[in-house]
Structure formats: C-alpha cells, structure tokens
Structure 1
Amino acid sequence: MYRFLLTPRWWGINLFVVLAIPFCVFMGTWQLGRFEDRVHSHEKAEEQPAPGTRAAEPIDALLPVSTETSGRPALATGTYADQFLVPGRTLEDRSGFYVLTLLRTDAGKALPVVRGWLPGTPDRGEVPAPPAGEVTVTGDLQASENTGSNGVNVRGGLPQGQLGMISAASLVNLVPYDVYDAWVTLTEAEPGGGPMKPVPATAAPGSGLDMKAFQNLGYTGEWFVFGGFVIFMWFRLVRREAEAARDVRLGLAADAD
C-alpha cells in the first residue's frame, strides 16, 4: 500500500521533510539559546553593584566594551578639543540634543565625552564652553552606536558640527586623530555647565530582558511549530495518498497516474 513512498515524487517530499525538521529544531534551539544568554546577562547585571558605588577604572582597562563593562565608570585625562552636537536625543520624555566633546588623551587618541544634554534643537550658542587645560573626567562607559541601535534615529544630511550617532566610524572622518571605539557620559553635572543635564548610561545592546529578548522566545516557539507542521502535513499527505491507492485497488477510482 505504501510503495508510493519510493516513487521519485515522494523521494523529493521525503528529502524535504528530512532536511526541514532538523533545520527547524536547530533554529528553535538557537533562538532559545539567545534568550537564555539575555537572561544570564540580565542576572549578572542584577548582581553588579549599584551605579555610583563602583570604583572608576582607566578607560584602557575597560576596553573593548562588553556587556560586563558597559555602564562601568571610566577615568580619562586629557584636554578637550573638537565638539559636536547630537540631535534627536530624549531625556525625561523631552526632546533635545547631546553635547559631545572629544577629550584628547596623552595616549594620542581622543575619547568622545557626552558632557550633558540640552532641550530643544541644537544651538551652539546655548552650549557652555568645555573646561580649558588638562582635565580628568569620570563617565559611564558606552559602546559605539550602530545604525538603529539603542533606538537611535540616525538621520542623514545633518548640518556641519552635528552627528547622527556616536561612533568612532563617524568621528574618524571628521577629526585628524584616532578616536576610541567607545564613549562616556559624565556621571555628574559639569561645573559651570549651566543647564546641561548628565545623561544616564543605557544598557548594552543585546543584553537584558527587553522586547527583543522575548522576541527570541517567541521565535523559538514559531520554529518548533513549523517543525511540527511539517510532520503533520507529511502524515496527512501520506494518508491521502494511501486512501487514493486503496480506492484505485478497490475500483472506486481510476488510476490517474
């Protein structure tokens, strides 16, 4: 009755099923692993000391930025140089912009420092001048932004002196010196900073129990459902084919093959 399973047409169907089921299981397991990694990183973050209680470390000791070092207080010494404004940033549900100033360190590289946030549209006239001379800054470490990361709306065609995202890839084309592949936000209001407000550090992309984490969990269920659907459809097709073969054998239907 089931000799039709050995026909060329069914060889193709069987091969598809044999390949599809392991693929669905693999993809579901991979998505589940990503969700478990996010849960693990969230638990590790919960075990870390509260912000403001950890000792600051030199910037070079915390690089490259990872889920463990993101948000850690970093120390850097140098002199302020080029300054840029980063529009489209919100703080306390208000729209405004970041004041980003490059700190040229003794190592020859510059560290992007978000000195603060101001409301409204970018206006250089409202930005307090950075401190002169050599300064030592303490700020929360952040990873360079990528297109669309952290909810950043990266816009093109910005006026001169403005940036759509904070990254070494963007800054290296605007300044004649090397830039750290990271940035910091000052943990306290800058003396003489006027209305500028400190910008709190954000969680590293791809960590924590955010919406994307639960999307991974949802995708896990979807892949396993796909695998189950493939099995269900295979059995259904086999049953229909077997019933058709039985009808032909009993003379209830003509053999159309």
Structure 2
Amino acid sequence: MYRFLLTPRWLALHVLVLVLIPSFLLLGRWQFGRYEERSAASDVATGNLAAPTVPLTSIDKPGAEVPPSLKFRSVTATGRYDPAHELVVRRRTQNSRPGYFVLTPLVMADGTAVVVNRGWVKIGPTADSPPEVPPPPAGEVSVTGRLRPAETEDSTGINDRSGLPARQVLLINTPNLARTMPYRLFGGYVELTEQRPGTAPAPDPVPPPDLGGGGGLNLAYSVQWWLFIGIAVGGWVLLIRREAHDLQAERRSAPGTDAVPAPGH
C-alpha cells in the first residue's frame, strides 16, 4: 500500500523535508545565539547605566579602546570646551527628525581631551549648509555623561567616506578624529547627560539607549523556527496518511474488487 512513497514525486517531497528540518534547526539556533548575545549585552548595559558615576580617567585613557563591558558607564570629566575644533555628525535622526550630533572636545588640565557629544541639532537649509549649533559654555565645565566606544563601520553599519563639507563627519571614530586635533584624545567619547554650568539654548540631549528588550524578539524567532520543524514533519505525515487513505478508497470503489459468488452456492 505504501509503495507510492518510492515514486519520483514522493521522493522529491522526502528530500525537501529532510532539507527543511536541519535548515530550520540551524536558523533557530542562530536566532537563539543572537538572543544570548543581545541578552548579555543588555544586562551589561543595564548594569552600567545603574552603576555609580566614576571619573573618566579611572576607566579610559588617551589612545585606549573602550571595551563593550564599559559601554554606557556614567563618567565625569572637567575641562574647557574647544569650539575651534567642534564637529557635527551627519545623518543622525532623533525623534524621527534628521539632523546632526554636535561633537565638542573638552580639554582637561593636563592637555588631553575627550570628545563630548553635546546633543542633537536639526539640519540646515540644505544638505551641505552648516546647521545652527548653540555654543558651549565658556570657562571651566564639569560634564557627566555615558561613556561610548569609538564608532566604526562594523558597529554602526554606516559607510564612512571623505569629501564631506568642512567640520562634518559620518562616524564618531575617535582614533580618526585624533589625527585632526592638536591634543591626545581619550579612546571613547562621552554622551552628555549633564553639565555645570549649563547653557541655553543648547543641543537637544541624546535620549537614553533603547536596550531592545534584551533580544526577546530573537528568542521568539528561534522558537518559531523550531515550531516549523514540527509543522514540516506533521505535514509530511499527514500527506502520507491522506495519500494512503485515498488509494485504499480507490481500490474499494474499483469495479471487480468484490468477490462474485460461484453458481449453486
């Protein structure tokens, strides 16, 4: 009755199911791996955001690389802003509006400096015209903010390029920025949350990071892929049973299947 399973059509279906099962298994495992990575990163970020504020110099130094374990750690620094070397970062959207981030070096007493992202400003009249940027406070300033690692093409998905208007960049890549400034830059940059004294007007503060639920969506996707395995196997079995049932029904209804009694019996 089940010889039909060896026909070309059914052999193709068997191969398809055998390909789908490991494919769904691997896709689910990949999504679960992404969930584990994002969940761990979210836990680290949440812990850093809640941790006590520390001096920048205690966890970062000029020319260093900020590890992911320190991302979003609250830090403080004191110095004087250098508006002469201020930059703006193109293509930064905030509250669904296109604009720029404002980067102003904060020069410390020892001559080293840290790049401070003072916040967001709207775009100018044209794509190449400079935006209106409120000036930083003069004199000595104490800043508090979230420590961020230098941006790269890999970490942001933004392709860096040259030929931009003066004092505009696409990435907050501190090693690259250090080549254009007359002092040694700290490895990370500070996303401003508070400064004393303050100024008005000022760039719009960068909102706290959206941690994305710790990868919960990836966990849902992994479960979904694994459920597809059950659907594929269940559908395969259901089709086999249906085909066998249909063949049995055809045989019962075919002419001459019922035995004819012999004469005299």
| TM-score bin, normalised by smaller chain | 0.5 to 0.7
Residues 171 and 246 (structure 1), Cα distance of their counterparts in 2 relative to 1, 3 Å cut: farther
**Residue number in structure 2 paired with 1:222:** 224
Residues 169 and 48 (structure 1), Cα distance of their counterparts in 2 relative to 1, 3 Å cut: closer
**Residue number in structure 1 paired with 2:261:** none
Work out whether 1:128 is the aligned partner of 2:129: no
Residues 10 and 120 (structure 1), Cα distance of their counterparts in 2 relative to 1, 3 Å cut: closer
Residues 196 and 84 (structure 1), Cα distance of their counterparts in 2 relative to 1, 3 Å cut: same
1-side partners of 2:136 and 2:46: how far apart? 37
Residues 238 and 196 (structure 1), Cα distance of their counterparts in 2 relative to 1, 3 Å cut: same
Q: Percent identity?
A: 32
2-side partners of 1:15 and 1:233: how far apart? 14
Letter in structure 2 aligned against 1:63: E
**Residue number in structure 1 paired with 2:263:** none
Find the residue that maps to 1:203 and give its secondary structure: coil
Residues 201 and 144 (structure 1), Cα distance of their counterparts in 2 relative to 1, 3 Å cut: farther
Residue 248 of structure 1, CA deviation: 5.5
Residue 100 of structure 1, CA deviation: 0.8
Residue 196 of structure 1, CA deviation: 2.1
Work out whether 1:209 is the aligned partner of 2:216: no
**Residue number in structure 2 paired with 1:14:** 14
2-side partners of 1:167 and 1:5: how far apart? 61
2-side partners of 1:202 and 1:192: how far apart? 19
> Aligned to 1:100, which of 99, 103, 116?
103
2-side partners of 1:179 and 1:16: how far apart? 57
Equivalent residues of 1:71, 1:141 under 8 A apart: yes
Residue 209 of structure 1, CA deviation: 1.0
> Aligned to 1:85, which of 84, 88, 97?
88
2-side partners of 1:71 and 1:235: how far apart? 52
Structure 1, gaps ≥5 residues long: none
2-side partners of 1:18 and 1:181: how far apart? 50
1-side partners of 2:96 and 2:232: how far apart? 47
Residue 159 of structure 1, CA deviation: 4.7
Residues 73 and 247 (structure 1), Cα distance of their counterparts in 2 relative to 1, 3 Å cut: same
Find the residue that maps to 1:71 and give its secondary structure: coil
Q: TM-score if structure 2 supplies the norm length?
A: 0.62
Structure 2, gaps ≥5 residues long: 256-265
Residues 187 and 240 (structure 1), Cα distance of their counterparts in 2 relative to 1, 3 Å cut: closer
Structure label with greater radius of gyration: 2
2-side partners of 1:249 and 1:126: how far apart? 85
**Residue number in structure 2 paired with 1:195:** 201
2-side partners of 1:247 and 1:124: how far apart? 78
How well do the aligned residues superpose, as a CA RMSD in angstroms?
Answer: 5.0
Residues 231 and 110 (structure 1), Cα distance of their counterparts in 2 relative to 1, 3 Å cut: farther
2-side partners of 1:201 and 1:143: how far apart? 17
Equivalent residues of 2:103, 2:117 under 8 A apart: yes
Letter in structure 1 aligned against 2:254: L
**Residue number in structure 2 paired with 1:239:** 241
- Count how many residue pairs are aligned between Structure 1 and Structure 2: 244
Q: Which runs of 4+ in 1 moved over 6 A?
A: 75-79, 90-96, 134-137, 176-181
Residues 19 and 170 (structure 1), Cα distance of their counterparts in 2 relative to 1, 3 Å cut: farther
Work out whether 1:34 is the aligned partner of 2:34: yes
Residue 41 of structure 1, CA deviation: 4.2
